[in-house]
């Protein structure tokens, strides 16, 4: 009896060819039972969001709904045996009629609340999962289609609802007791409040659904099927010689994901990490590739670092002044002002002289952050305790990541020697006490070259 949970992303379900490939993968993995979680067909959620907003503006959105209908019907026509098409087409029509009714209500009210938007977005997963369940059944796997809103209990924070873990786990265990030869099929991304109001789980919500189900069922493994071969040692757009990391720890994967390796979002991993359930990242289009395995075990191979990642569109604000020396609570005031302005600090660096604080954040938040700092520290500026705020744009964060960095001398020296040898200037540096990550800021113009230089220094054969 299988205790595997597999999840297919939108890119794996984008059209008839990819859906067929995904269901062949599912057939081999779930022949003895298990759970399959599906995202919406690639691009569908964006269309639904646009349709909701346009309907709120009074626009006719029948064309968008028709486009969604046509995509799903085309898959059914292409892949389902003729004798089984009527039932699934009827099911799709009922869902689309409900969607049309919701959007009509939005158009009449000229308003789309977060609650209504969650309901609109839920149709992407509900449609794709209905189709996938039928296709998997046609391949000889007995399936049971479940509604995630009856499983995933959340609060009423629409758009990014908070999951009520214990209640959710109880529901999942009651509804999805493993049965030999029966595959449970569940839509990702969506949940519901205790009153049955539809909610969504935020970015990468389908991964989160799969992680929650795996944790609730004490699964042997969580498989994430996507359109890449696994977690790469660097972004192949910048580093052509980047390779798939076969094994990495949960912490390494979280660090890589935060700094640009968008295979799986760190927060979605939490439920399985708590139970030490391994995660396997695989390519739906190349199932023969080994993929990346994420577990408690760190990467091997004798390398000092596991991988490199970067984040672009970065800005840096330097708060500097002689009056900051020994001024108690200055860092708290700076960070508090940024929090009130909803500006997320991605990296912070302060010299032991206390003469300056360097803050790194997204470029889109830079002006808002600067205004908040000027307001909070107006008196210090007026009395010259702070000289000025220096804002720099067009920057990037580059991070080297790896469990094996801990306690290994010479990592920083090798890193900065490589960058210095290439003539790349480092504007700011940060390293946590875990020694798992060294992050540095360079100009955007140097990002690509920095990644290549570091990869050659640490990861080349």
Residue with tokens 């994420």: 294
Output the domain CATH number for residue 427.
3.30.2130.10
Residue 240 belongs to some domain of the structure:
no
Inter-residue contact 381 to 370 (CB < 8 Å): no
Co-location of 332 and 207 in the same domain: no
Instruction: Say what the pLDDT of residue 351 is.
Output: 65
Residue 361, domain member (yes or no): yes
Provide the pLDDT for residue 268.
83
Find the mean pLDDT for residues 348-373.
85
Q: Dump pLDDT digits (tens) for 62-121.
A: 999 999 999 999 999 999 999 889 999 999 999 999 999 999 999 999 999 999 999 999
Neighbour-count burial of 60, counting CB atoms closer than 10 A to its CB (0-12 exposed, 13-18 middle, 19+ buried): exposed
Average predicted confidence (pLDDT) for the chain: 91
Q: What's the pLDDT score for residue 320?
A: 82
Mean pLDDT of 114-143: 97
Specify the pLDDT at position 178.
65
The residues, any chain, with a CB within 8 Å of residue 132's CB and separated by 6 or more, are: 8, 13, 19, 22, 23, 26, 36, 38, 185
pLDDT of residue 325: 63
Question: Looking at the structure, do residues 317 and 197 belong to the same domain, yes or no?
Answer: no
At 353 the pLDDT is 52
- In this predicted structure, the answer to whether residue 389 has a pLDDT above a threshold of 90 is no
Do 72 and 207 belong together in one domain? yes
What is the per-residue DSSP string for 384-439?
TSS-EEEEEEEEEEEEEE-GGGTT-TTHHHHHHHHHHHTTPPP-EEEE-TT-SEEE
| Residue 401 pLDDT | 92
Q: Strand 4-8 relative to strand 221-226: parallel, antiparallel, unpaired?
A: parallel
Same domain, 219 and 352: no
Average pLDDT value for residue range 169-183: 87
The backbone torsions φ and ψ at residue 184, rounded to the nearest 5 degrees and listed phi first, read: -85, 135
pLDDT at 1 over 60: no
Domain containing 388: what range?
307-458
Question: Does the residue 134 lie in any domain?
Answer: yes
Confidence of residue 323 (pLDDT cuts 50, 70, 90): low
Boundary-marking domain end, from 227, 254, 275: 227
Confidence check: pLDDT of 50 > 90: yes
Indicate the residue among 157, 192, 227 that finishes a domain.
227
Q: Is residue 390 part of a domain?
A: yes
Residue 258 lies in a domain: no
**pLDDT top residue among 358 and 147:** 147
With cut-offs at 50, 70 and 90, classify the pLDDT of residue 411. very high
Euclidean distance between CA atoms 141 and 159, whole angstroms: 34
Tell whether 353 and 453 lie within a shared domain.
yes
Q: What does the pLDDT read at residue 299?
A: 78
- 386 and 320 Cβ atoms separated by less than 8 Å: yes
β-strand partners of 347: 360
Same domain, 215 and 317: no
Q: Which residue has the higher pLDDT, 460 or 78?
A: 78
At 34, list the tokens: 């298990």
Q: Above 80 in pLDDT, residue 321?
A: no
Q: Which residue has the tokens 């075990």?
A: 297
What is the per-residue burial (b if ≥16 Cβ within 10 Å, else e) of 392-422? beebbbbbbbbbbbeeeeebeebbeebbeee
Instruction: For residues 331 and 449, state if they share a domain.
Output: yes
Q: Looking at the structure, do residues 313 and 451 belong to the same domain, yes or no?
A: yes
Res. 267 pLDDT band, cuts 50 70 90: confident
8 Å CB contact between 234 and 307:
yes
Angle at 270 between CA 145 and CA 153, to 5 degrees: 45
DSSP letter, residue 217: T
Domain boundary among 199, 227, 255: 227
Residue 140 lies in a domain: yes
Residues 185, 330 within the same domain: no
Is pLDDT at 251 greater than 60 in this prediction? yes
What are the tens digits of pLDDT across the range 22-46?
999 999 999 889 999 999 999 999 9
The dihedral over CA atoms of 52, 45, 274, 4, expressed in degrees to the nearest 10, equals 140
Determine contact, residues 190/152, Cβ cutoff 8 Å. yes
- Cβ(133)–Cβ(92) under 8 Å? no
When pLDDT is averaged across residues 251-261 and rounded to a whole number, the result is 80
At 319, the pLDDT band (50, 70, 90 cuts) reads: confident
Band of residue 354 on the pLDDT scale cut at 50, 70, 90: low
Higher pLDDT, 448 or 403: 448
Same domain, 89 and 178: yes
CATH at 22 = 3.40.1160.10
In the sheet with 356-362, reading across from the earlier edge strand, the strands are 345-350, 356-362, 307-320, 388-401, 437-443, 428-431
Kindly tell me if the per-residue pLDDT of 152 is higher than 70: yes
* Domain assignment of residue 268, yes or no: no
**CB contact burial 335-347 (16+ within 10 A = b; e otherwise):** eebbeebebebbb
Tally the domains of the chain. 2
In percent, the amount of the chain with pLDDT more than 70 equals 95
In a domain, 72, yes or no: yes
Per-residue pLDDT for 58 more than 70? yes
Structure tokens at 137: 């059944």
Which residues, at least 6 apart from 196, have a Cβ–Cβ distance to it below 8 Å?
149
C-alpha angle 57-63-65 in degrees, rounded to nearest 5 = 90
How many whole angstroms separate alpha carbon 23 and alpha carbon 134? Answer: 10
pLDDT in tens, 421-451: 999 999 999 887 667 889 999 999 999 999 9
Q: Is the pLDDT of residue 291 over 80?
A: yes
Supply the pLDDT for residue 297: 86
335 with 187, same domain: the answer is no
Q: Is the pLDDT of residue 334 over 60?
A: yes
Residues 311 and 436 in one domain: yes
């Amino acid at each position: 009896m299988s205790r595997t949970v597999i999840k297919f992303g939108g890119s794996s379900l984008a059209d008839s060819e990819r859906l067929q490939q995904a269901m062949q993968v599912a057939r081999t993995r779930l022949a003895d039972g298990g759970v399959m979680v599906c995202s919406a067909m690639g691009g569908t959620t964006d269309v639904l969001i646009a349709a909701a907003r346009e309907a709120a503006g009074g626009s006719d959105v029948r064309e968008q709904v028709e486009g969604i209908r046509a995509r799903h019907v085309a898959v059914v026509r292409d892949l389902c045996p003729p004798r089984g098409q009527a039932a699934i087409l009827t099911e799709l029509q009922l869902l689309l009629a409900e969607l049309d009714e919701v959007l009509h209500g939005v158009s009449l009210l000229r308003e789309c609340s977060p609650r209504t938007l969650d309901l609109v977005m839920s149709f992407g997963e509900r449609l794709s999962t209905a189709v996938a369940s039928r296709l998997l059944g046609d391949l000889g796997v007995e399936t049971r289609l479940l509604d995630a809103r009856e499983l995933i209990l959340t609060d009423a924070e629409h758009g990014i609802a908070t999951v009520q873990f214990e209640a959710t786990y109880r529901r999942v265990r009651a509804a999805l007791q493993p049965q030999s030869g029966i595959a449970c099929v569940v839509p990702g991304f969506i949940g519901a409040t205790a009153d049955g109001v539809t909610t969504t789980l935020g970015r990468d919500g389908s991964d989160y659904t799969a992680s929650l189900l795996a944790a609730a069922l004490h699964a042997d493994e969580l498989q994430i099927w996507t359109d890449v071969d696994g977690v790469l040692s660097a972004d192949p757009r910048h580093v052509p010689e980047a390779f798939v990391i076969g094994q990495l720890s949960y912490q390494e994967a979280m660090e890589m994901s935060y700094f640009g390796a968008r295979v799986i979002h760190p927060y979605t991993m939490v439920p399985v990490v708590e139970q030490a359930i391994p995660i396997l990242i695989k390519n739906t289009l190349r199932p023969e590739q080994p993929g990346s395995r994420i577990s408690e075990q760190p990467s091997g191979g004798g390398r000092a670092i596991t991988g490199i990642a970067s984040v672009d569109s970065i800005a840096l604000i330097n708060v500097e002044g002689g009056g900051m020396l020994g001024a108690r609570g200055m860092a708290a005031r700076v960070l508090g002002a940024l929090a009130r302005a909803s500006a997320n600090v991605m990296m912070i660096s302060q010299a032991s002289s206390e003469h300056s604080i360097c803050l790194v954040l997204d470029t889109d938040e830079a002006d808002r952050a600067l205004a908040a700092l000027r307001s909070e520290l107006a008196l210090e500026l007026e009395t010259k305790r702070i000289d000025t705020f220096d804002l720099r744009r067009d920057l990037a964060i580059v991070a080297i990541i790896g469990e094996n960095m801990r306690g290994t001398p010479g990592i920083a020296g090798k890193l900065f020697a490589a960058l210095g040898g290439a003539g790349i200037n480092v504007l700011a540096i940060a390293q946590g006490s875990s020694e798992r990550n060294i992050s540095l800021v360079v100009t955007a113009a140097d990002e690509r070259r920095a990644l290549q230089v570091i990869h050659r220094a640490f990861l080349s054969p």
